[in-house]
Amino acid sequence: MSEHSTLVTRAGALDAADELAGTRKQFVLDDVVYLDGNSLGALPAHVPGRVEDVVRRQWGELRIRSWDESGWWTAPERIGDRIAPLVGAAAGQIVVGDSTSVNVFKALVAAVRMAESEPTGSGRDEILVDATTFPTDGYIAESAARMTGRTLRPVVPAEVPGALSDRTAAVLLNHVDYRTGRLHDLPSLTAAVHAAGALAVWDLCHSAGALPVGLDEHGVDLAVGCTYKYLNGGPGSPAYLYVRRDLQDRFDSPLPGWNSHAEPFGMRTDFEPAAGAPRGRVGTPDILSMLALEAALEVWDGVPIEAVRAKSLALTDFFLECVAAYAPEGRVESVTPVAHAERGSQVALRCEDAGDVMKRLIERGVVGDFRHPDVLRFGFTPLYVGFADVERAARVLGEVLR
C-alpha cells in the first residue's frame, strides 16, 4: 500500500472510532477543510434562527421589555456560568462582556490593587508579562503598569519562576502561545507566582474550549478569554472575565460602569460595587453578539472537555505525521512542541514563504492562517474537524510545497 492510501485508511478508522464525530453536523460547513477555528469558530447551525428571534421578536416586538422578559439584563452572568464548566470554574465567577483587551486591563489593574492591599504590598512595583504574548496583552499591560505606577517586565514563561520576587505584584500569562501553539504549565506557574506572593492572571484565548483549564482546581486568581475561537461565539463576540470567588470582594475595577453597581437602577452618584461576578461588568452589554454566543454554547451540552482534549491531541499528532509523510524534506519545520503536555490545539509550521503558501492553500480549500513573518498556523477544533480533513490538509500542503 502507498503511504497515501495507508494514511487515508488510518484517517477513516480514526473517524469511525471518533466519539465526537456527531457534533460536526451541528455546524455549517462546506467542502473546505477549516483549520482556522482558532481565529474564528464555524457557525453552529441553530444560531441564525436564534439571532433572528432576538432581533425580530425580542428587539422588534418586546423592545425595552426584553431587558427583563428576555433575560437581557442577566445575560453576562448567565452566559458566564455556561462557559464556567469548560474552564473548570464553579458558577458565579465569570462574567461576559467587552473585548479581551478591555478585560485584560480590568484584570491586571485589579490584580495590582489586590497585591498592593497585602501587608507586603507596598514594595511590589513590578508586573511580569509573557514576552511572547499576543501583542494586545503586552500593550494593555504596559498601560496598566503606567497607570498604576508599576514597571512592566517582559519575561518568557519558562523564565517566570526565576524572575519572580517580592517586587512582583502580578503576572500576566498566556495559557497557549498564539503563534507556536505551545501550552504553558498553568498549575506550576500559578503555584510559583503564589509562592512569590503575587497574583496570576491568565489569558485563555487559545485554550478555552480546546483543553481542560482547571481554573478553580489550580487556584488561578483572575483570567480572561475570548469566545470567538474554540467557543464559536461569532465574529468579535464578547470576551469574559474570571475572578476567583474569594477575591471578588477585593476586585477594584478600573472601569466601574453603571452595570457593575450594586444598585444599577438606583442612579446614585456614589459608586457602590456589586457583589460577585457582576462587579466585572462595565456598560450596557451588546445583546446581539452576546445572545448569539449564548446560543452557540449549546453545542457543548454533554460534551466533556476531556474528550475534546483527547481528540485534539490525536488530530494534531496525526497532522504532524501526515505532514512528515507528504511535505518535501526541509520545506517546513514544526514550531509546536511534540510533547502532549506542551501542546495546545494547533500546529504551527515555520515556512520561508508562509504568506504565499497559505494563499495557495486557501485557494485549494484548506483554510489556516498566516502569522507574520513565516508561520503557517493550523487550528484543530475537535467539535467539527475530522481525521480525513487532517489527511487532506496535509496532502494539499505537500502538493503546494512542491
Sites for its own copies among residues 304-363 (CB under 8 A): none
Which residue number, 101 or 163, has a Cβ lying nearer to its own copies? Answer: 101
What's the chain's Rg over C-alpha atoms? 22
When binding is defined by CB under 8 A, the residue of 15, 39, 167, 194 that contacts its own copies is 39
Catalytic: 309?
no
Instruction: Quote the CA–CA distance of 283 and 267 in Å, as a whole number.
Output: 14
In the range 159-218, which residues lie near its own copies by CB under 8 A?
A: 179
State which residue, 133 or 190, has the beta carbon closest to its own copies.
Answer: 133
Q: Which of 8, 11, 20, 72 binds its own copies (CB under 8 A)?
A: 72
Q: Is 226 in the site for its own copies (CB under 8 A)?
A: yes
User: Is residue 236 a contact residue for its own copies (CB under 8 A)?
Assistant: yes
Q: Which parts of 2-21 interact with its own copies (CB under 8 A)?
A: none
- In the region spanning residues 97 to 156, those forming contacts with its own copies, defined by CB under 8 A, are 98-102, 105, 109, 131, 134-136, 138-140, 142-143, 147-148, 154
C-alpha span between 316 and 336 (Å, rounded): 10
What CA dihedral angle connects 333, 384, 289 and 174, to 10 degrees? -40
Q: Which residue from 7, 42, 193, 223 is in contact with its own copies, where contact means CB under 8 A? A: 42
Kindly identify the residues of this chain, within the stretch 256-275, that bind its own copies according to CB under 8 A: 256-259, 261, 265-269, 271
Residue pair 41/229 in contact (Cβ under 8 Å)? The answer is yes
Write out the DSSP string of 174-205. ESB-TTT-BBP-HHHHHHHHHHTT-EEEEE-T
Strand blocks (E) in 326-373: 333-334, 346-350, 366-367, 369-371
**Residue among 82, 281, 311, 377 flagged as catalytic:** 377
Q: 178 an active-site residue? A: no
- In three-state secondary structure terms, 152 is strand
Angle at 102 between CA 248 and CA 341, to 5 degrees: 75
Q: Is 319 assigned a catalytic role?
A: no
Q: Is 55 in the site for its own copies (CB under 8 A)?
A: yes
Q: Please classify residue 3 by burial: count the beta carbons closer than 10 Å to its beta carbon, then call 0-12 exposed, 13-18 middle and 19+ buried.
A: exposed
CB 371, CB 179: distance < 8 Å: yes
Q: Is 311 a catalytic residue?
A: no
| CB of 109 or CB of 198, closer to its own copies | 109
Closest to its own copies by CB, 288 or 388: 288
Contact (Cβ atoms closer than 8 angstroms) between residue 178 and residue 205: yes
Active-site annotation holds for 271: no
Pairing of strands 126-130, 151-155: parallel
Cα-based torsion angle of the residue sequence 48, 52, 55, 60 in order, rounded to the nearest 10 degrees: 180
Segment interacting with its own copies (CB under 8 A) among 63-71, 166-174, 195-203, 331-339: 63-71
Least spacing, CB of residue 163 vs its own copies, in Å: 17
47 binds its own copies (CB under 8 A): yes
Binding residue ranges: 100-101, 134-137, 203, 206, 228, 258, 284
Could you tell me how far CA 103 lies from the centroid of its own chain? 13
- Among 213-221, 284-292, 320-328, 387-395, the segment contacting its own copies (CB under 8 A): 284-292
Q: Catalytic: which of 98, 130, 203, 221?
A: 203
Query: Which positions are annotated as active-site residues?
Result: 134, 203, 228-229, 377
